[in-house]
Amino acid sequence: MLKRLDIVAVALILGLAIGCKKEAATNIEVTEPLAESPTDTTVPAPPRPIKVYTNDTVTVNAYEFDNGLDYYLNQKNDTTYVVNFWATWCVPCVQELPHFEKINAKYKENKVKVILVSLDMAKMIDTKLLPFINQKQIKSQVLLLRDPDADSWIPKVDSTWSGAIPATVIYNKDMRKFYERSFTYDELEKEISNFK
Partner 1 sequence: MKTIKFLAMFLAIGALAAFKADVPAAGYKVGDIAADFSLKNVDGKKVSLKDIKNAKGYIVVFTCNHCPYAQAYEDRVVALDKKYKALGYPVVAINPNNPEKQKEDSFAKMQERAKEKKFAFPYLLDDGQKVYPLYGATKTPHVYVLEKTAKGNVVKYIGAIDDNYEDATLVKQKYVEAAVDALLKGKEVSVKETKAIGCSIKA
- Binding interface with partner 1 (CB under 8 A): 87, 89-92, 119, 121-122, 124, 148-152, 154-155, 160-166, 179-180
Q: What does each C-alpha distance from 59 to 17, 39, 99, 158, 187 come to in angstroms?
A: 12, 30, 22, 28, 30
Task: Output 14 or 150, the one with its CB closest to partner 1.
Answer: 150
Longest dimension (CA), the chain: 48
Backbone φ, ψ for residue 132 (5° rounding): -65, -45
Least distance in Å: CB of 90 to partner 1?
A: 6
Q: Which is nearer to partner 1, 109 or 151 (CB)?
A: 151
Q: Closer to partner 1 at the Cβ: 113 or 147?
A: 147
Decide: 35 and 8 in contact? Cβ < 8 Å: yes
Shortest distance (Å) from residue 187 CB to partner 1? 11
Q: Minimum distance between the CB of residue 190 and partner 1, rounded to whole angstroms?
A: 11
Least distance in Å: CB of 23 to partner 1?
A: 17
Q: Which DSSP category does 139 fall into?
A: -
Q: Is the torsion defined by CA of 193, 194, 195, 196 positive or negative?
A: positive
Please say which residue, 6 or 126, places its beta carbon nearer to partner 1: 126
What is the rounded CA–CA span in Å between residue 183 and residue 100?
A: 9
